[in-house]
């Protein structure tokens, strides 16, 4: 199931920061957060109040 309207880069980045992403993290950890929290996962988390 694809996202019909992708999240903006700003929306996605703001969510990633809320779950621990920061420029100071090693690239491997940043990438893991980015891959774990795709647009669909972010939308579902926000629906359930995250």
Residue 2 has what pLDDT?
57
Residue 1 has what pLDDT?
55
Distance CA 20, CA 6 (A): 21
Give tens-digit pLDDT for 6-50: 999 999 999 999 999 999 999 999 999 999 999 999 999 999 998
pTM over 0.95: no
Distance CA 38, CA 35 (A): 6
């Amino acid at each position: 199931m694809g996202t019909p309207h992708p999240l903006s880069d700003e929306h996605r980045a703001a969510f990633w920061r809320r779950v621990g992403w920061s420029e100071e993290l090693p690239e491997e950890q940043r990438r893991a957060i980015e891959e774990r929290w795709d647009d669909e996962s972010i939308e579902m988390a926000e629906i359930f109040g995250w």
